């Protein structure tokens, strides 16, 4: 098979799996698991094959694979089914394939008794297919199709536990907020295609290289809105923490490793378009800086283990956009790949922990002794992943984060052409600050989850092999992906991704400071844990992980006061953040701001419309009803039942008509 055929099969197989799964899922439950796992595995293998055959991208001189076919003429600007596979696409597809396969395998254990597992698995397959389509597509319209399919899959999967009000609200919020970004995104795509005369990425990049773009800033800003929505960047990030109401594997696949990375990947593909406008780069840098620091602070205050990870995802995506803002897409995609691996691992391990502990509250976990011995696999792999997250050498996160910081320093010192120094400094300072904070919240998470004291953790027996095995599979890239730093530039643009000395020392030093400070704070506060009992809520020990999780989510607010935070004085984050804690826990009141800015005006408008409908429109409707009623009452007076009057009227009418006819005839 040619590489093109292989590449076409990669998104096609999960799609077929999804369709078949939806069709036969109910009638033949035995086929559901193979139908979910096998297409994902096959397309992962195929994606690896494509990557191997394609070899490096532009970095080592290999031309990217470009294939296109136009099915039908579609108006002024043609839409083509196009493939554009360079090093970025090949590697991101491999990541998607790996994570999707892991998640599908993990889900067979996690949702083993779920009655809606068939539709769940099919939606995950459909999502995988859409993501692979986005990755491989060489045509922006086809990319948009995958982009939107991902959005709707995310909506359905976040709402998987639709029995709980949190999940219903979260799925709606995720959908609406991302759509808020998608509308300008669509307009931006049209503007871009109008300027370039094509939806093909290659053509657009050629046009940009030739300076043929008329409104680069406008287009870049419009596209950025969609990217911010999809990749959960400030100010459209608020949906992501709430989306944790979905099942953990979904959070791992969609809201950590792949879909949220789509925005970053999109910018990486079209980076020349953004680089054509210095203003867009500065906006991107500001966005990244605010996102990084704000989300790291918020992560430090969350009580729900998955919300900590969600805010962490937002922050790491901030690093990626930061790398893009300084014009280094190699660093961005490098961080995307390593982050995809270790964040998927973190989420999947968190799913195991939630099941073992019977709660998703860190405060409750910190009052359980020996949780680490109950779930040794999750403990070790999560430790690896947290070290990678905190960018401790030699884990993968260290190399990718240092690549970002190095690129920022490069731009800040004015070595990168066409990138404003402001953007470089913004990304560098924010990146260093959030390196410290990241290490702090990673440390806090680890300490609270695995070093609890108090009653023994409940014993739920061994976790399913499918779930534990996947953790170890993902631990390998988290541990060792950084070693590829020497060969990766060949796949990307060729710029070196190796860490530079200054930023490495600064970044690692700050991370160590963050970890040590957190440890100190924890030692200070942990004594309080025994005095304040918390965490009475625990799911039934024999329930499946999914049931435990949905119960944990729905009981968090009644048990601890809110979905996000708990009143736990033993939390080191509370001590470190001080008065900021209250705001950080609620995501800096951004939801309240949105409520005041958008929700309340919309509700007011709805009330007004309702009033208009009730009082104004309905008056007309009632009038329309009443007038014929009156006329009917009047006409009924004529219905005397006397045949002679009827006949009189009939004949009088005939006479009038006859006279009229005669007059007309005579007149004519």
d(CA 78, CA 67): 15
Residue 645 binding other proteins, by CB under 8 A:
yes
Q: Which is nearer to other proteins, 596 or 655 (CB)?
A: 655
Task: Candidates 643, 664, 667, 668: give the one binding other proteins (CB under 8 A).
Answer: 643
Site size for other proteins (CB under 8 A): 19
**Least Å from the CB of residue 172 to other proteins:** 22
Nearer to other proteins, 524 or 610 (CB): 610
Instruction: Decide: residue 7, CB within 10 A, 0-12 exposed, 13-18 middle, 19+ buried.
Output: buried
Contact between 59 and 497 under an 8 Å Cβ cutoff? The reply is no
Residue in 644, 664, 667, 668 binding other proteins, rule: CB under 8 A: 644
Show Cβ contacts of residue 308 under 8 Å, excluding neighbours closer than 6 positions. 299, 302, 362, 441, 445
Which region, judged by CB under 8 A, interacts with other proteins, from 145-153, 233-241, 549-557, 636-644? 636-644
Are 96 and 337 contacting, i.e. CB atoms less than 8 angstroms apart? no
* Using rule CB under 8 A, residue 636 touches other proteins: yes
Smallest separation (angstroms) from other proteins to the CB of 164 = 26
Tell me which of 176, 279, 624, 659 binds other proteins, using CB under 8 A.
659
Near other proteins by CB under 8 A, which window of 136-144, 269-277, 346-354, 637-645? 637-645
Q: Which two tokens stand for residue 61?
A: 């001189």
Question: 21, 121 in Cβ contact below 8 A?
Answer: yes
- The alpha carbon of residue 160 and the mean position of all alpha carbons in its chain are separated, in whole angstroms, by 15
* Minimum CB distance to other proteins smaller for 496 or for 648: 648
* Cβ atoms of residues 11 and 133 within 8 Å: yes
Residue 506 CA, chain-centre distance (Å), reads 31
Tell me if 662 contacts other proteins by CB under 8 A.
Answer: yes
Q: How far is the CB of 168 from other proteins (least distance, A)?
A: 22
**Minimum distance from CB of 666 to other proteins (Å)?**
8
Structure tokens at 266: 């999109």
Note whether 27 binds other proteins by CB under 8 A.
no
For residues 11 and 5, what is the distance between their CA atoms, to the nearest angstrom? 11
Q: What is the dihedral of CA 309, 314, 320, 326, to 10 degrees?
A: -140
CB of 608 to other proteins, least distance (A): 15
**Could you say whether residue 640 binds other proteins (CB under 8 A)?**
yes
CB 390 within 8 Å of CB 507: no
- Contact call for residue 658 and other proteins (CB under 8 A): yes
Interface stretch with other proteins, choices 3-11, 157-165, 344-352, 635-643 (CB under 8 A): 635-643
From CA 261, how far away is CA 252, in angstroms rounded?
12
Q: Which is nearer to other proteins, 209 or 656 (CB)?
A: 656
Kindly tell me which of 516 and 655 has the beta carbon lying closer to other proteins: 655
- Give the binding range for other proteins (CB under 8 A) out of 14-22, 45-53, 354-362, 651-659: 651-659
Question: Could you say whether residue 647 binds other proteins (CB under 8 A)?
Answer: yes
Distance CA 423, CA 441 (A): 26
Nearest to 145 by CA among 176, 114, 189: 189
Instruction: Tell me how far apart the alpha carbons of residues 230 and 240 are, in angstroms, rounded to a whole number.
Output: 9
Binding status of residue 639 toward other proteins by CB under 8 A: yes
Task: Give least dist CB 603 to other proteins, A.
Answer: 15
Contact segment (CB under 8 A) with other proteins among 109-117, 192-200, 333-341, 650-658 equals 650-658
Q: Which is nearer to other proteins, 530 or 658 (CB)?
A: 658
Between 455 and 652, name the residue whose CB sits nearer to other proteins. 652
* CB environment 606-638: b (16+ within 10 A), e (fewer): eeeeeeeeeeeeeeeeeeeeeeeeeeeeeeeee
And the tokens for 603? 């509700």
Q: Considering the complex, state which of residue 76 and residue 644 has its C-beta at the smaller distance from other proteins.
A: 644
Residue with Cβ nearer other proteins (530 or 662): 662
Burial of 238: CB neighbours in 10 Å, binned 0-12, 13-18, 19+: buried
Check binding of 655 to other proteins (CB under 8 A): yes
530 near other proteins, rule: CB under 8 A? no
| Nearest distance from C-beta of residue 633 to other proteins, angstroms | 8
Choose between 27 and 636: whose C-beta lies nearer to other proteins.
636
Region binding other proteins by CB under 8 A among candidate stretches 35-43, 288-296, 567-575, 645-653: 645-653
The residue (of 605 and 659) whose beta carbon lies closer to other proteins is 659
Name the helix (H) or strand (E) containing 330: helix 329-357
First to last CA, the chain: 86
Q: How far apart are CA 374 and CA 456, in angstroms?
A: 10
CB of 627 to other proteins, least distance (A): 14
617 sits near other proteins (criterion: CB under 8 A): no
Cα 20 vs. chain centroid, distance in angstroms?
A: 26
Complex with other proteins: residue 602 or 651, whichever CB lies closer:
651
> Residue 372 in contact with residue 450, Cβ under 8 Å?
yes
> Which residue stretch of 125-133, 335-343, 364-372, 655-663 sits at the interface with other proteins (rule: CB under 8 A)?
655-663
Closest CA to 211 of 260, 300, 273, 289: 273
User: Which range binds other proteins by CB under 8 A, 238-246, 349-357, 563-571, 640-648?
Assistant: 640-648
- Whole-number Å distance between alpha carbons of 352 and 594: 34
Residues that bind other proteins (CB under 8 A): 610, 614, 633, 636, 639-645, 647-648, 651-652, 655, 658-659, 662
């Amino acid at each position: 098979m040619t590489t093109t055929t292989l590449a076409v099969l990669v998104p096609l197989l999960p799609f077929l799996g999804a369709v078949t799964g939806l069709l036969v899922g109910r009638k033949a439950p035995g086929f559901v698991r193979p139908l979910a796992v096998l297409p994902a595995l096959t397309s992962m293998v195929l994606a690896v094959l494509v990557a191997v055959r394609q070899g490096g991208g532009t970095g080592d001189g290999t031309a990217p694979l470009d294939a296109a076919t136009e099915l039908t003429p579609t108006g002024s600007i043609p839409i083509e089914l196009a493939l554009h596979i360079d090093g970025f696409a090949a590697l991101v597809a491999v990541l998607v394939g790996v994570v999707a396969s892991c998640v599908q395998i993990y889900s067979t254990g996690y949702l083993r008794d779920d009655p809606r597992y068939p539709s769940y698995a099919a939606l995950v397959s459909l999502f995988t297919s859409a993501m692979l389509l986005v990755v491989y597509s060489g045509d922006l319209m086809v990319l948009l199709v995958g982009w939107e399919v991902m959005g709707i899959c995310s909506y359905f999967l976040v709402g998987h536990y639709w029995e709980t009000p949190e999940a219903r609200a979260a799925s709606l919020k995720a959908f609406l907020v991302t759509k808020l970004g998608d509308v300008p995104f669509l307009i931006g795509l049209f503007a871009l295609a109008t300027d370039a005369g094509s939806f093909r990425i290659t053509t657009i990049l050629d046009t940009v290289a030739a300076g043929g773009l008329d409104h680069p800033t406008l287009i870049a800003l419009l596209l950025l809105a969609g990217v911010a929505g999809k990749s959960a960047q400030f100010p459209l990030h608020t949906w992501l923490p709430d989306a944790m109401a979905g099942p953990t594997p979904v959070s791992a696949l969609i809201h950590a490793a792949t879909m949220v990375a789509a925005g970053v990947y999109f910018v990486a593909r079209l980076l020349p378009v953004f680089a054509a406008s210095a203003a867009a780069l500065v906006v991107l840098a500001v966005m990244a800086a605010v996102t990084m620091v704000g989300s790291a602070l918020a992560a430090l205050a969350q009580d729900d283990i998955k919300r900590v990870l969600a805010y962490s995802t937002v922050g790491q995506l901030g690093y990626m956009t930061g790398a893009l803002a300084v014009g280094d897409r190699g660093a961005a995609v490098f961080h995307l790949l390593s982050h995809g691996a270790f964040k998927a691992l973190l989420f999947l391990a968190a799913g195991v922990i939630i099941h073992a502990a019977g709660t998703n509250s860190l405060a409750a976990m910190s009052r359980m002794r020996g949780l680490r011995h109950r779930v040794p696999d999750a403990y070790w792999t999560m430790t690896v992943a947290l070290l990678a997250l905190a960018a401790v050498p030699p884990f993968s996160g260290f190399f990718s984060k240092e690549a970002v910081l190095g690129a920022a320093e490069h731009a800040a010192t004015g070595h990168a052409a066409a990138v404003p120094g402001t953007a470089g400094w913004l990304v560098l300072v924010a990146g260093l600050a959030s390196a410290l904070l990241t290490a702090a919240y990673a440390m806090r998470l680890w300490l609270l989850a695995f070093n609890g004291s108090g009653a023994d953790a409940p014993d739920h027996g061994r976790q399913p092999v499918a779930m534990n095995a996947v953790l170890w599979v993902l631990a390998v890239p988290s541990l060792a992906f950084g070693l590829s730093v020497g060969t990766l530039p060949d796949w990307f643009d060729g710029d070196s991704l190796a860490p530079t000395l200054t930023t490495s020392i600064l970044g690692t030093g700050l991370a160590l400071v963050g970890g040590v400070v957190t440890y100190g704070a924890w030692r200070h506060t942990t004594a309080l844990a025994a005095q304040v009992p918390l965490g009475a809520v625990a799911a039934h020990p024999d329930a499946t992980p999914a049931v435990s999780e949905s119960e944990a989510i729905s009981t968090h607010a009644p048990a601890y006061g809110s979905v996000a935070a708990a009143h736990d004085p033993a939390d080191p984050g509370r001590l470190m953040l001080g008065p900021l804690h209250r705001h950080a826990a609620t995501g800096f009141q951004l939801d309240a701001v949105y409520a005041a800015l958008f929700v309340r005006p919309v509700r007011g408008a709805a009330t007004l419309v309702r009033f208009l409908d009730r009082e104004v429109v309905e008056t007309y409707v009632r009038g329309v009803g009443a007038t014929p009623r009156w006329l009917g009452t009047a006409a009924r007076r004529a219905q005397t039942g006397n045949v002679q009057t009827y006949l009189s009227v009939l004949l009088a009418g005939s006479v009038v008509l006859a006279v009229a006819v005669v007059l007309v005839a005579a007149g004519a």
